[in-house]
Amino acid sequence: MEPFDNRASSVSHRALLNRAVVSAEQMRQIEERIFAAGMPVAALMEKVAGLIAARIMTLYPPSKVGVLVGPGHNGGDAAVVARELHLQGYEVNLYRPFAKLKELTAAHFNYASSLGIAVFDDISELEPCNFIIDGLFGFGLERTLSGSIAEAVKTLNSWQKPVVSIDLPSGIHTDTGEVLGVAVRSTQTFCLGLWKCAFFQDEALGYCGDVSLVDFGIPEADIEAILSPVPAVQRLTREVVLSNLPLPRPAVTHKYKQGHLLLICGSRRYAGGAILTALGARASGVGMLSVAVPESLKPLLVAQLPEALVVGCPETESGAIADLPDLDLSQFSAIACGPGITLDALPVVERVLSAPVPLILDADALNALARLGTETRLSQRSYPTILTPHVGEFKRLFPDIAPENRIAAVREAALHCETIVLLKGARTAIANPEGQIWLIPESTPALARGGSGDVLSGLMGGLVAQQGASHTIAAIAAEWHARAGILAARKRTELGVDAFTLTQYLTPIPRS
């Protein structure tokens, strides 16, 4: 398997590090290095809070603001932000639910209150405020919120006011994204320093709102010391995608030099799945496309994709593909198998697993693999394989791996079966057996439609046929697919993006 493809990085090494995604423990170790080198905690707090205050002032004009001050350094950041907003003419109200504060936090809080800023221990006093700043807890929270603080968070959420959270919404676990009893529902979150894992966990997404990174200048040496020169977990950025797309072509070439993809898809029951998969492959620009479908579907596919070589296959009584006659699987650059085939095509999947080419398995090919024995069958392959399960399929493939922590789950699955695993979701995660992970930073619920996954299978197959199988290419396909959904939703609303419409938005995506 290939390591991270960093061709993107004619951009600076700093840009690569800014793609890093860290756990709470890694962030803690990085901060300890900064402080050990001589950076005063108080100076860093002033710097971070100043950056946050400047961001807030661009979002909200001077008005009445409530600031929640927690007991730790997150609360200290909030107290400094409150002071700076007060000095800029905002009417600031502080909510302090904890009697005991860390020494530095207490100092900043006391100074803010000495300026005449109102202080309350009842959150209901903040209800008249125009917006709220959440500085209760930052990264590293592990205990469940309970008692009066949990009730205060519930009260805050009931107001449905704009809320800006510092680093993370209070009540969210930094690594898993788990809601620890109750959590603040933010409209805006300023992630401090480096991206935290929680922002890529499905459970946390409904609490984070719009998320942006506040880079306060962590030295590269400190990041490299903890994460190594190439971080194991990265968010896929536009620069990485544009460094790989569009795929370059020499002036003199021909169709078979641009990849030959075989799709195995469709059944009498799911004819549309074959069409959508093939349309996704078409958008990839693959040089030659072959599509194996049940014989009865051949006229339908020929009418929709006249440029494709459509192979009609014998059918089972239920209308699934029974066999792949006269097909030398070694002639293809890549094979994508699964959308719409039903479990009646299990013998076909069994044959495809022995194909001496890169293989993408999706949908019922994954369900068939689970029945055949995931680890046993994949251990017999000597060519790259990409699995693309949603959570339900993941549970069937890997019943002993809990999928709730998506980052940990996809890493464990890839290591376990020694293949590339793409776990679909609101934030798709892609891992290779070396433990390297790409995270797709943005998507849209518009893609929660039948058939959108089929489009991704075809698109990914086309890219793999041209570029080879790596977790970077799989991630780029997922990002391209997500970006097409976002663009389509902007034009047609989230309810207007059916899978066929999605295919029409794939072509302009790489440089949109």
Q: Is the pTM of this model over 0.75?
A: yes
Pair type for strands 188-192 and 163-166:
parallel
Structure tokens at 38: 């001589």
Confidence label for 252 from pLDDT (cuts 50, 70 and 90): low
| pLDDT score of 12 | 56
Q: What strand order describes the sheet that includes 118-120?
A: 118-120, 91-95, 64-69, 131-135, 163-166, 188-192, 210-214
Tens of pLDDT, residues 29-66: 999 999 999 999 999 999 999 999 999 999 999 999 99
Q: Considering only residues 353 and 254, tell me which one the structure prediction assigns the higher pLDDT.
A: 353
What dihedral angle (degrees, nearest 10) is formed by the CA atoms of 141, 101, 31, 49? 100
pLDDT score recorded for residue 13: 56
The closest alpha carbon to 21, from 170, 242, 180, 204, belongs to 204
Average confidence (pLDDT) over 394-399: 97
What confidence tens digit (pLDDT) does each residue in 441-478 have?
999 999 999 999 999 999 999 999 999 999 999 999 99
Burial 228-245 (b: 16+ CB within 10 A, else e): eebbbbbbbbeebbebbb
Mean pLDDT of 139-156: 97
CB 433 within 8 A of CB 475: no
Closest C-alpha to 407, from 238, 230, 232: 232
pLDDT, one tens digit per residue, over 283-341 is 999 999 999 999 999 999 999 999 999 999 999 999 999 999 889 999 999 999 999 99
Q: What is the dihedral of CA 16, 19, 24, 27, to 10 degrees?
A: 30
**pLDDT category of residue 16 using cuts at 50, 70 and 90:** low
- Kindly report the backbone phi and psi dihedral angles of residue 74, in degrees, each rounded to the nearest multiple of 5, phi listed first: -60, -40
Residue range 257-281, pLDDT digits in tens: 679 999 999 999 999 999 999 999 9
Name all domains of the chain by residue range, CATH numbers in brackets.
20-230 (3.40.50.10260), 238-511 (3.40.1190.20)
